[in-house]
Amino acid sequence: MDKRMGSLVMIAVLMLVTRRWIGVEARPAVERRNLLANGLGMTPPMGWNTWNHFYCNINETVIRESADALVSTGLAKLGYRYVNIDDCWAEHDRDSKGYLVPRKSTFPSGIKALADYVHGKGLKLGIYSDAGSRTCSQTMPGSLGHEQKDAETFASWGIDYLKYDNCNNGDLKPMKRGDMHPDLWADKLGNSWRTTMDINDSWESMVSRADQNEVYAEHARPDSWNDPNMLEIGNGGMSNNEYIVHFSLWAVSKAPLLIGCDVRNLSKETMAILGNEEICSVFKRRRTVVVLLNRSPEFRIITAQWDDIGIPPKTIVEARDLWKHATLKKRFVNKVKANVPPHACKMFLLMPLPLSE
């Protein structure tokens, strides 16, 4: 998947209006509408995707069990409602009429049955295709030249979300389309787009994706979200603190929160991260949040000035630690700072207090 930077087209239903960046004031939702003002994706998508843990080793059983797990763990209630099938779900070739065919050996009941199952649990089903002749795995056809037919097929199955990759495109430009910068054109086509190459389950990869994504912060807004790729939390390649950083950075960036581990077998630690109810709640709303990140291998005092965050000078602020689940007794003026362990972060919800007299 995504050996080329994929564009991600999303058809989604989400809730409340959001937005506040580190230091960047949001454009109000009404100020700018994209062509796909479809009312979907008002907040960034949340759910689960097969790729980061299972790669091509998927089938209808693991997808049903994962849907079950999203509900039984309580993650669905927090907003993780998309169950997204990534690459490798179809037969190698189209049928004689040109339709994509679910792979018989792994999806014997077909995708429509899976959509019905997932919908029956109050969840949504996502699927994957590619703008080229074959998908990135090469195991199934891409949609190039079959776009209309495939869109109709997905609609007839009851698909709620499409991830659209960009492998094997014969060097066709995504547009007179502005080449590999979906932030510049994709808001007319989808609700979310990739801003980075694929992530892997390592600290270096994760923080570099966050850095690359940050460049496009100005382009993110309700209906149109930057995607630094799916979550690796729970896959075992990072420390617990590093996974906390991963979740904090994705949440504060309003990135899609698409879980990429085996949700049928979540450790307590992983559940405490993905299931952080306060962060999931803040993520969906317009709030002022700051992440103090220590990238270094030693403890560091990290400071954020009100000036950097867009809070008026002299404002007195109450801070809630979203990982400790505690409101700090101390009030902050002009800045907030903390002593942060190596490869770790603090995440504070900042609540300006009304000026007295």
Ligand X SMILES: *[C@@H]1O[C@H](CO)[C@@H](O)[C@H](O)[C@H]1NC(C)=O
d(CA 128, CA 126): 7
CA distances for 94 relative to 39, 85, 165, angstroms: 33, 18, 18
**Element spanning 69, H or E:** helix 60-72
Interaction between residue 239 and ligand X (CB under 6 A): no
Among 160, 165, 183, 201, the one annotated catalytic: 165
Cβ-based nearer residue to ligand X, 55 or 299: 55
Nearest residue (CB) to ligand X, 26 versus 62: 62
Q: Is 73 one of the binding residues for ligand X (CB under 6 A)?
A: no
Annotation marks residue 201 as catalytic: no
- Write the interaction track for ligand X spanning residues 199-218; mark x where CB under 6 A is met and - where it is not: -x-x-xx--x----------
Least distance CB 59 / ligand X (angstroms): 4
- Contacting residues for 273 by C-beta, under 8 A, at least 6 apart: 233, 234, 240, 243, 244, 247
If the CB atoms of residues 60 and 183 are measured against ligand X, the closer one turns out to be 60
The residue type at 116: D
Cα-Cα-Cα-Cα dihedral sign, residues 82, 111, 116, 38:
positive
The C-alpha R_g of the chain, in whole angstroms, comes to: 21
Give the shortest CB-192-to-ligand X separation in angstroms.
22
> Smallest gap, in angstroms, from Cβ of residue 48 to ligand X?
13
List the x/- string, 250-289, binding to ligand X by CB under 6 A: ------------x--x-x----------------------
Q: Say how far apart CA 302 and CA 147 lie, in whole Å.
A: 49
Encode burial over 324-336: b for 16+ CB neighbours within 10 A, e otherwise. eeeeeeeebeeeb
Out of 187, 198, 223, 227, the active site residue is 198
d(C-alpha 241, C-alpha 231), whole Å: 14
By the rule CB under 6 A, 54 interacts with ligand X: yes
Number of C-beta neighbours around residue 120 at 10 A: 9
In this complex, which beta carbon is closest to ligand X, that of residue 160 or of residue 201? 201
- The size of the interface with ligand X (CB under 6 A), counted in residues, is 13
- Residue 61 in contact with ligand X, rule: CB under 6 A: yes
Catalytic residue at 2?
no
- Binding residues (CB under 6 A) for ligand X: these are 54, 57, 59, 61-62, 200, 202, 204-205, 208, 262, 265, 267
